[in-house]
Every structure is written in structure tokens, then in C-alpha cells.
């Protein structure tokens, strides 16, 4: 059991529960709830052991990832746990590290540790530009999500990071399976196929991605939110510190900045994740109504909500797994096409 509220405000907390290497979720969580509410527990005398795994963790990363030249990296720990563990690893790997808010403080006095929110990266962007760093990295509260700022001070979304990692893995291991969530750019899926990979679109949610990776024997998986799962040379879970070191390994081996490595990726016009409040008993009905409206569209994807392909882009409408919210995302090859797609879909969202 991992006790974590991740990037949520300090008054929130929670549990991540694993049995062996598998995270429990969905119906399994509800089964656990029934057991807890029933109160029929086993009794007896328990034992415990305290083990500090810091050195073993740091040694494993240092021994298995090779950064071959000095890289200047700014690190925003967001006062979560990430900075505390990442700084010694990066320094040991020979990086020049500029730390920012790397002392754990559960009150989050500077900003919430959520690297998907642009405002939370403002100071990191400023430091990268002022200090001429090669890269900026940011962690969420429990360091399972990674935010990245390029050498130009531009935020690199999770699907672009996934694209970059996929290219590197596919160079060594062509025909490997890569899994990405339904909110990711079509550019990512096309690029994986172009580089001799097998791309699978799947449901949003770290537990769901992890389970699908195990089922498909995928080497890599990821989400827009910065969850990046490595089964290539690692254990198949979302460790943002490990992902950051793997990114630095790519930069050191290629001798290029991250902006240069992504220069050939087609530029699209996309919205961020749009969240609309909608009661739990209504949100599923809204999604079903959208599905019905577009049911004759060829290529309709119903893996998680509905992803509707258009001639020049796509739209996504899905209900959140964890909140009373409808989630939207749109992408197109031009601003005009993006607006046209939005104008076709959004009026149907009668909440």
C-alpha cells in the first residue's frame, strides 16, 4: 500500500494498493470496500520490517541508464518527494542540476505539484531560459508523473514525450508494442507505425494502461498527464524519476537538444483537456448521445467514451473515471478545422 494524495491539495490523501506487481482498481476496489464495511477481518499477531530502499533504487538507475555527457537540467520538485530522490541520482550521473522546490513539504507552499497545469511550470520555464539549461523537469507530488520544459522554455506534452521514447525503443527493438491513452495526438499513433511499431490506443487511467501493457507485453505506455510506463529495461510502472533519466540518456547519446529531436514532428492545433462539470448519473447518458449522433462515422472509436474521426482531425468525449466531469479534447491540422470540429460537437453537449 502506498499512501499518497499525489498532486491533490494537502487536505486530501489516499491509497494505491498493489497485489504483487498489479495495481487493484475498478471492481476490485469495490470488493475491498465490501470487506471493509462488513468488518469481518482476520485476527492475529502481525510482524513488520523497516527497509530503506533509497540506495538500491539509486544504484539500479545509475547502473542501468548511461548519461555520457554533462547536461544542465533544472528540476522543480514541487515540494513533493521527487526532488529528494532525483537530485542525488542526477548529480551522480554527472548532470549540472539547478534545484527548485526540491524539499518535501506537504503544505505545497509554492505551487501544487501538478506538472500538467501550465501556471505551475512558470518558474521552471523562467529558470530554463535565464540559466540556459538543456532541459527542465518537474514532478507531481508522488513522482509518478513527469513534466518537461524544452531548452527553448516550451512545455512538452505527455504524448510528445511518449513519441520520443517510442522512437528510441523502436530503433533497438522494432515491431514492439506501445500503448497510449485515447486522449493522445493522432500524430503519436502515426509516428509509432512509421517507425515500425505496433500502436494500441487504450483507456485513460494508470491502472488500466498498466494492465493493458502486461496483457499485450508492451515495452512502453503513456498518458497525456505525464504518466510514462517503461517495461523496456524497467518494471512496467510509472516512475517519473526513471523517465527523466531516460530522457537525459537520449539527449546525451544523440548530442542534441530536445527541441531539435522533436523538430520533425508535425505541428497540429489541439485543445488541452477540457473538463465540464456533469453529475455522475448524467455523464454516461451524454456520452451515449454523442455516440448515437456520430454512429455512422467510419472509424468511430468507442474504447473509452467516443473518439470521432473527421477528415482533418478528431474529437473526444468521455466521462471521467474519478469525478463528476465530462472530458473533451480536439485536434486538427489547422486552426480553422479545429474550430469547425468543435462547432460540430460542442452544441450536442446538453448537460
Q: Is 99 left (phi over 0), alpha (psi -120 to 50) or beta?
A: beta
Closest CA to 80 of 148, 4, 156, 161: 4
Angle at 222 between CA 217 and CA 228, to 5 degrees: 95
For the cut 90, the answer to whether the pLDDT of residue 209 exceeds it is: yes
pLDDT tens string 245-272: 999 999 999 999 999 999 999 999 999 9
Closest CA to 148 of 251, 255, 76, 233: 76
Select which of 6, 47, 48, 225 is catalytic: 6
Closest CA to 162 of 212, 211, 222: 222
Q: How confident is the model at residue 126 (pLDDT cuts 50, 70, 90)?
A: very high
Distance, in Å, from the CA atom of 348 to the CA atom of 282, rounded to the nearest integer, reads: 14
For the cut 90, the answer to whether the pLDDT of residue 41 exceeds it is: no
* H or E, element range at 205: none
Angle at 203 between CA 200 and CA 205, to 5 degrees: 120
* H or E, element range at 336: helix 335-345
Of the chain, the end-to-end C-alpha distance in Å amounts to 38
> Max Cα separation, the chain?
67
| Residue 312 DSSP symbol | T
Q: Is 162 exposed, middle or buried, given 0-12, 13-18 or 19+ CB atoms closer than 10 A?
A: buried
Distance, in Å, from the CA atom of 302 to the CA atom of 291, rounded to the nearest integer, reads: 8
Q: Is 327 in contact with 278 (CB distance < 8 Å)?
A: no
Closest CA to 149 of 87, 98, 104: 98
Distance, in Å, from the CA atom of 141 to the CA atom of 161, rounded to the nearest integer, reads: 20
pLDDT at 351: 66
Closest CA to 195 of 161, 160, 169, 213: 169
pTM for this structure?
Answer: 0.93
Distance, in Å, from the CA atom of 260 to the CA atom of 127, rounded to the nearest integer, reads: 20
Distance, in Å, from the CA atom of 320 to the CA atom of 326, rounded to the nearest integer, reads: 6
Secondary structure E strands in the chain: 2-3, 15-16, 18-19, 22-23, 72-76, 96-100, 135-139, 146-149, 155-156, 177-181, 198-202, 220-222, 228-230, 237-238, 269-270, 274-277, 306-310, 313-319, 325-332
Q: Is 142 in contact with 81 (CB distance < 8 Å)?
A: yes
pLDDT at 194: 98
How much is the average pLDDT of 279-285? 92
The number of C-alpha atoms within 13 Å of 303 and in the hemisphere containing its C-beta is: 19
Told to judge if 6 belongs to the known catalytic residues of this protein, a careful annotator would answer yes
pLDDT tens string 148-184: 999 999 999 999 999 999 999 999 999 999 999 999 9
* H or E, element range at 137: strand 135-139
Residue with cell 494508470: 206
Q: Which domains does the chain have, with CATH numbers?
A: 2-38 (no CATH), 58-156 (3.40.120.10), 158-242+253-261 (3.40.120.10), 269-348 (3.30.310.50)
Q: Is 7 helix (H, G, I), strand (E, B) or coil?
A: coil
Q: Distance of alpha carbon 100 from its chain centroid, rounded?
A: 21
For the cut 80, the answer to whether the pLDDT of residue 239 exceeds it is: yes
pLDDT at 315: 98
Amino acid at each position: 500500500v502506498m499512501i499518497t494524495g499525489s498532486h491533490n491539495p494537502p487536505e486530501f490523501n489516499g491509497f494505491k494498493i498493489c497485489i504483487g506487481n498489479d495495481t487493484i482498481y475498478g471492481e476490485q476496489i469495490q470488493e475491498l470496500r465490501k470487506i471493509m464495511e462488513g468488518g469481518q477481518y482476520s485476527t492475529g499477531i502481525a510482524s513488520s520490517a523497516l527497509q530503506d530502499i533509497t540506495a538500491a533504487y539509486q544504484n539500479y538507475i545509475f547502473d542501468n541508464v548511461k548519461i555520457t555527457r554533462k547536461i544542465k537540467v533544472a528540476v522543480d520538485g514541487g515540494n513533493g518527494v521527487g526532488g529528494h530522490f532525483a537530485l542525488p541520482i542526477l548529480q551522480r550521473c554527472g548532470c549540472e542540476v539547478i534545484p527548485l522546490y526540491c524539499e518535501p513539504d506537504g503544505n505545497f507552499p509554492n505551487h501544487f505539484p501538478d506538472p500538467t497545469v501550465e501556471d505551475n511550470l512558470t518558474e521552471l520555464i523562467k529558470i530554463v531560459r535565464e540559466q540556459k539549461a538543456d532541459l527542465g523537469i518537474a514532478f507531481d507530488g508522488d513522482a509518478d508523473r513527469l513534466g518537461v520544459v524544452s531548452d527553448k522554455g516550451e512545455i512538452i506534452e505527455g504524448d510528445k514525450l511518449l513519441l520520443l521514447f517510442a522512437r528510441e525503443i523502436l530503433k533497438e527493438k522494432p515491431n514492439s508494442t506501445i500503448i497510449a491513452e485515447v486522449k493522445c495526438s493522432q500524430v503519436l499513433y502515426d509516428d509509432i507505425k512509421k517507425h515500425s511499431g505496433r500502436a494500441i490506443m487504450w483507456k485513460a487511467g494508470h491502472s488500466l494502461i498498466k494492465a493493458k501493457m502486461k496483457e499485450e507485453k508492451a515495452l512502453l505506455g503513456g498518458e497525456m498527464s505525464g504518466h510514462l510506463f517503461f517495461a523496456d529495461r524497467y518494471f512496467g510502472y510509472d516512475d517519473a524519476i526513471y523517465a527523466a533519466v531516460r530522457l537525459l540518456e537520449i539527449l546525451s547519446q544523440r548530442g542534441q537538444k530536445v527541441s531539435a529531436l522533436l523538430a520533425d514532428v508535425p505541428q497540429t492545433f489541439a485543445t488541452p483537456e477540457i473538463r465540464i462539470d456533469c453529475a455522475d448519473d448524467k455523464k454516461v447518458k451524454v456520452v451515449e448521445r454523442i455516440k448515437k449522433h456520430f454512429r455512422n462515422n467510419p472509424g468511430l472509436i468507442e474504447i473509452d467514451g467516443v473518439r470521432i474521426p473527421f477528415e482533418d482531425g478528431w474529437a473526444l468525449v468521455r466521462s471521467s473515471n474519478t469525478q463528476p466531469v465530462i472530458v473533451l479534447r480536439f485536434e486538427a491540422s489547422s486552426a480553422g478545422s479545429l474550430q469547425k470540429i468543435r462547432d460540430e460537437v460542442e452544441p450536442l453537449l446538453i448537460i
